[in-house]
């Protein structure tokens, strides 16, 4: 029974990975254009800061801008990946098929959540390289520690995405909420959450602040900081899944699960 369960998880991961690769190849143009658009947005932000701050734009400020922008992109990709995974299926009329799949909707969401983290790491690694090339500022990044903080922190944002996806099952159109969330994520990655304070308990804030401290201040984070990020991420992820399940039950009772 245990072997069968492991094999089932493995097959689910393989199928979802293959599906993601097929979709990426099919819409490669859109992926490349999206990367270029995000990079151009970074240049607009950077040039704007340099224009307004002039000589006040120090290397520490520049480092913080690069790190903050990359952290925002991590949070944005994690959020949209979780929310759009359900919303897009509903728009395409295939959502009910996911609920009837042998793997089950929860297993599929967990696997897609992991795939989303890997995609975000690859996408943002390319974006970080382009950002450092364009600004001629090469950051001293402890990649192992930084990736650990990001991986521990992203489930919190994905939990927010699940909650919004659950709301979309009932209310269908949540574009306005998603637009507001993009600006909310900017606040979450910008808040001073290190050392520990009340803002450290917000989703992804502790992880973003931790990476900023590692890169710009070369700080040594205590082990408890990693534990804090793990606990808060788990809380927001479970809260998001709980919210999704509640709205899923409501959508089924109203018989609007497959409608959009």
Q: Decide which of 19 and 53 is more confident.
A: 19
pLDDT (tens digit per residue) in 37-71: 888 888 887 777 767 766 665 666 777 888 888 88
Mean pLDDT of the chain: 80
pLDDT in the model for residue 148: 92
Contact 115, 21 (CB under 8 A): no
Decide: pTM greater than 0.95: no
pLDDT (tens digit per residue) in 200-217: 999 999 999 999 888 888
CA atoms within 13 A of residue 238's CA, in its CB half-sphere: 6
DSSP strand E in the chain: where?
A: none
Q: Is the pLDDT of residue 24 over 90?
A: no
pLDDT in the model for residue 239: 93
81-85 mean pLDDT: 73
pLDDT in the model for residue 60: 66
In this structure, how many other beta carbons lie within 10 angstroms of the beta carbon of residue 83? Answer: 25
Q: Percentage of the chain with pLDDT > 90?
A: 14
Q: Tokens 């909650």 identify what position?
A: 163
Domain spans, the chain: 2-253
In this structure, how many other beta carbons lie within 10 angstroms of the beta carbon of residue 235? Answer: 15
Q: Tokens 């520490």 identify what position?
A: 60
pLDDT in the model for residue 121: 82
């Amino acid at each position: 029974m245990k072997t069968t369960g492991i094999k089932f998880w493995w097959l689910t991961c393989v199928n979802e990975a293959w599906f993601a690769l097929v979709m990426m190849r099919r819409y490669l143009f859109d992926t490349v254009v999206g990367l270029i658009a995000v990079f151009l947005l970074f240049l607009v932000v950077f040039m704007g800061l340099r224009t307004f701050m002039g000589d006040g734009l120090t290397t520490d400020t520049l480092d913080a801008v690069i790190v903050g922008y990359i952290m925002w992109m991590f949070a944005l990709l994690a959020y949209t990946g979780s929310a759009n995974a359900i919303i897009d299926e509903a728009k395409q009329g295939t959502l009910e098929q996911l609920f009837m799949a042998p793997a089950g909707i929860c297993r599929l969401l967990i696997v897609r959540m992991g795939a989303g983290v890997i995609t975000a790491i690859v996408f943002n690694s390319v974006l970080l390289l382009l950002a450092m090339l364009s600004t001629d500022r090469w950051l001293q990044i402890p990649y192992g520690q930084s990736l650990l903080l990001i991986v521990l922190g992203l489930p919190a944002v994905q939990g927010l995405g699940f909650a919004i996806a659950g709301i979309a099952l009932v209310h269908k159109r949540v574009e306005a909420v998603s637009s507001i969330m993009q600006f909310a994520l900017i606040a979450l990655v910008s808040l001073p959450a290190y050392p520990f304070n009340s803002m450290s308990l917000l989703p992804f804030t502790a992880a973003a602040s931790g990476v900023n401290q590692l890169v710009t201040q070369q700080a040594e984070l205590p082990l408890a900081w990693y534990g804090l990020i793990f606990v808060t991420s788990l809380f927001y992820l479970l809260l998001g899944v709980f919210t999704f399940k509640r709205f899923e039950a409501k959508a089924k009772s109203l018989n609007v699960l497959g409608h959009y």
